Amino acid sequence: MLYPVYIFPGDLETAHGVVFPDFPGCFSAADEWEDLPRMMQEAVEVHFEGEEVDIPPPSPLEKLMADPEYTGGIWLLADIDLAHVHNKPRSVRLDIFLPSELVSRIDECAKAQGATRSRFLTDAVQQAIGQSS
């Protein structure tokens, strides 16, 4: 489903910031424009994680564009796959240490698949233990 998002463009020192007017408190960021779609999807998934609420429909972009709160950036429509948001099992934050070279390879592979690091690692572990997602 297409949701309006407001992008605060970054520069060489700061990432591009994203806010979701329809999901108060939900935000994301990415250094590269091409990384924004997967980072926005992940942000929405995390935002609604473990919640038993109805996800609101998208607001009309015309209404949001008139809001003076949004200045200095640009509007985009983000294609959010709500199938990955509903009925998702609760996730647990896991802090682990891995060699930096391995993390770089994980990130490269995840990016090539259009996945986040978390999604890539989840899929890899599920495959290794013979469990489907």
pLDDT for 3: 97
Dump pLDDT digits (tens) for 8-55.
999 989 999 999 999 999 999 999 999 999 999 999 998 988 777 788
Could you tell me the pTM of the whole model?
0.64
Instruction: Provide the percentage of residues in the chain whose pLDDT is more than 70.
Output: 94
Domains of the chain: 2-90 (3.30.160.250), 92-133 (1.10.1220)
Q: What is the mean pLDDT of residues 126-131?
A: 86
Q: Whose CA is closest to 67, among 22, 29, 129, 126?
A: 22
